[in-house]
Each structure stands twice: as C-alpha cells, then as structure tokens.
Structure 1
Amino acid sequence: MVLDDGTRWRSALARATWLNPPPDVQVREDALLVTAAEGSDLWRTTSYGFVRDSGHALLVELPEATALEVSFVVDLPEQFDQAGLLVRSGPEQWVKAGVEHSDGAPQVGAVVTRGVSDWSVAPVPAWAGRVVTVRGSRAGDALTVRARVDDEPWQLVRVAPLPPGPLLAGPYCCAPSRAGLTVRFTDVRLVPADGALHG
C-alpha cells in the first residue's frame, strides 16, 4: 500500500484504540510519528521482578487466518528503545515483536507473555536506520512472527502459542529508560495469514 497523504493514518486512528495513549502523535504524509513516554514498557516479572503494562500500542482486531504487518524506521539509539508489533489478548497474555536497542546494538526479537514474560533476541546492527517490517501471522493456536529489512527475504523470529478468542494487534513502542523517543511508522497493513510455517 502506497502512502500518498495522511488520510489512511487518520482513518486508522479513528478505527483503532490506544493501549496507553502516547504523549504525542503526528500524522505525516508518509508516516505516523509516535512519541513514547519516559518509563513506558511491557513486561511481566521474569528476572527483573516488576510488572509494566504502560507501552503504547494502536490496536485493532486481529481475526483468525490474518496477519498484521508493521513497518517502521530503526532509529532506536538508546538502551531499551523499542518498536514493532504487539498482539494482545489481555494484560497477562501478549506477544511483542520487533527491534530493541540492547547492550549497544539493535536486536530483533520477541517477548512472549503468558502470566510471566520471556525474551529472545539476536543482534541486527546492519538494520540501523533502515525500514523494518514485522509480520505477525495468526493461524490456529499459533502466532508466527517474521521480520525483514527493506525488501530482503523474511526471517523467522518466533513461533508462539496463542490463546483462543479475540485478539488485538497493532504497532507499539516503548522507552523504558528515557524521554524523547519518537518512532516513525511507515505502514501498517492487515493481510492474509501465512500459508504454512515452512516454505
């Protein structure tokens, strides 16, 4: 989908619901700019010992047999800056997947939460400054997460269990450690689910 003005973003904002509205949102011709609140985060308990449910996400229904793709610029220069896709059943069951700055480099990964959170990451320093698309594909009892930079091939990030019932999904961002993070989302689209886990 080509973005030629801000109309589609304004329409998306009208149809979707914010989980924790961010301090600032700007609609541009080719992007949605979302500024995260200092201390915003999504995490439950594991290792860190705290519960955070303050991340910002613009959520719509994710029906069965569909996938949501979120594209954004990887401009995440400080520790724990993060952006990507959130798929959510409720405060104790959700998946966030995308890119997070951790230990000096951007990392692609996912946090899967079912009561408590787990986290998997892999460094992707070459993705800095480029457009990344994260795809969450819902099929049966599973969410398949893939990611790619620009138009390069998709990479499998995670296969995670999903609870039955309604799910919400959309672009998210968090800034656990600082103020001033603004994420440039360039596209969000609902598409058919992946045909298979493997090619």
Structure 2
Amino acid sequence: MESKDYKSITLDHFRWLNEPTNWNLCDSVLKVTTDDKTDFWQGTWYNFHFNTGHLFGIDIKDDFTFEACIEADFASLYDQAGLMLYINEKQWIKTGIEYTDGQAMIGSVLTNGVSDWATGIFNGNPKKFWLKLSSVGNIVCIKYSIDKVKWALLRLCPFIKKEEDLCFVGFMCCTPQRSGLNVKFSEYKITVPIDDVLHGDN
C-alpha cells in the first residue's frame, strides 16, 4: 500500500510472514494459534538468531498509525503478542505483552543488526490491551492502553529507513518455548498520524 488511502485497507489485503498452521480471519478479527518455537530475535545475550515468529501485515510507504486490540492468555516463558514493524530480518521493531519471570510484562524490542529489549510492569489486565504504533519519518512512537481511553507512552525511538523501504506492519505473535498460544487481534485501524503523536491523544 503506497498511498495514504488507509480507509480502503481491509485485512484481506494483509499477508503472512511465517504463516501459522492454525489461524482464522472473520469479520475483521484475526485469531491465531502459535506454532512451536517461534520468535523474532537477533543475537543479544543469548546469541539466538530467530526470524520465525508470525506476522500478519501489510506494506505501507507513508507515515501511519496502526492501532489494535490484542487478547491472549500468556502463560509460558517468552509468550508474546502485539504489533510489529518489519523492514527485513535485521531491522524491525516489535511491541506488546511478553511473559517473563512469572508475569506478563509490557515491552518492546528494537533490532538494528542486533536486538535490544525494554520491558516493564503492566498495570492492567494482560489478557486484553490496546497498542498504537506510529511511524513518522524516521521516528517510531509506541503507546499502550488498558482501556482504550488513556494512552501511555511505551517507546519513542529512531527508526532509520531508506527512501525505497516499505514498512511491513501488522499483528505479531510468538512462542519461543512452546506452541499453542491462542491470540485474538481486533479493533484494528490504520490512520494518518496526528500532528503530535507523542502527546496529542492523551
């Protein structure tokens, strides 16, 4: 999708990177069951290199804000679901809930050759939450909400793209140590970013 005609986009325009064995799309709701040992990660600390996670997305050239509701019952180490912006195997950012140290945490991973990981306590119900990922120029702004009313900043970071790069953005889920996480993605929308993505929607 190379224009700002975002209202014409439906999930029928989306495609898979690493299609899972079991998934269903009905009435603009995507339901996914993760395959075994799936993840996106490049190197840091573990020296793991995985590009096997599930991403259902669409190519976008211009600035955008991608918003969705995510529902899942996170239970095993590194269970994760959320949103992702993907350029290639070595350049991407993913965000959402990830299960670690016995609890569901909100966080993000930025990869530019190698991956970082920033995570923190989630003060809501991790079984249902909302994410908003905005790409404006060479900046990405990520926010989350526990009620879709008030949004909290999760990350503001540089994300340098080449002029010819398309952003492949969409719904992400992975289970590095098992299979069988059931995830529901709904209430999605793609819009032109507001003037102040950092403060303008609070």
Q: TM-score, normalised by structure 1?
A: 0.88
- Tell whether the 8 Å contact from 2:130 to 2:148 is kept in structure 1 after alignment: no
How far off its partner does 1:157 sit?
Answer: 0.7
What is the SS of the residue equivalent to 1:136?
strand
SS where residue 117 of structure 2 aligns? strand
Cα separation, 2, equivalents of 1:126 and 1:149: 6
Q: Is the 8 A contact 2:23 2:31 kept in 1?
A: yes
- The AA in structure 1 aligned to 2:195 is G
Measured at CA, do residues 102 and 125 of structure 1 come closer, stay the same or move farther in structure 2, by a change above 3 Å?
A: farther
Tell me how far apart the structure 1 counterparts of residues 158 and 111 of structure 2 sit (CA, whole Å): 10
Matched, 1:61 2:59: yes
Task: Say which of 113, 117, 120 aligns to 1:119.
Answer: 117
Query: 2:4 — aligned with what?
Result: none
Partners of 1:128 and 1:198 in 2: CA distance: 24
State whether structure 2 residue 154 is matched by structure 1 residue 157: yes
Q: CA deviation at 1:28?
A: 4.3
* Inter-CA distance 115–137: structure 2 relative to 1 (3 Å threshold): same
Q: Structure 2 CA distance, aligned partners of 1:142 and 1:166? A: 14
Question: Are 1:134 and 2:131 counterparts?
Answer: yes
Instruction: Give the Cα–Cα distance (whole angstroms) in 2 for the partners of residues 61 and 29 of structure 1.
Output: 21
Spell out, residue by residue over 1:61-116, the C-alpha distance to the aligned partner (whole angstroms, 9 max, x if none).
23322111121114212211100001011110000011111111111110000000
Task: Say if 1:62 and 1:68, in contact at 8 Å, map to a contact too.
Answer: no
The 2-side partners of 1:37 and 1:105 are apart by: 21
Residue 71 of structure 2 is aligned to residue 73 of structure 1: yes
> 2:192 aligned with 1:195, yes or no?
no
**Does the aligned pair in 2 maintain the 1:107–1:125 contact within 8 Å?**
no
Gaps of 5+ in 2: 1-7
Q: Secondary structure at the match of 2:171?
A: strand
Taking every aligned residue pair, what percent have the same amino acid on both sides?
29
Residue pair 1:74, 1:127 contacting (<8 A) in 2 also = no
Q: 1:147 — aligned with what? A: 144
Q: CA RMSD in A?
A: 1.9
Q: Is the 8 A contact 1:100 1:106 kept in 2?
A: yes
Distance 1:198 1:144 in 2: 10
Equivalence for 1:3: none
Q: Tell me which residue corresponds to 1:166.
A: 166
Per the TM alignment, residue 30 of structure 1 is displaced from its structure 2 partner at its CA by 6.9
Deviations 1:22-67 (A, max 9, x none): 1101234573210111100000000011100000001102332211
Q: Distance in 2 between matches of 1:125 and 1:138?
A: 25
Aligned length: 189
For 1:42 and 1:159, locate their aligned partners in 2 and report how far apart those are by CA, in whole Å: 20
What is the distance in 2 between the residues matched to 1:95 and 1:194? 21
CA contact (8 A) 1:89 1:163 kept: no
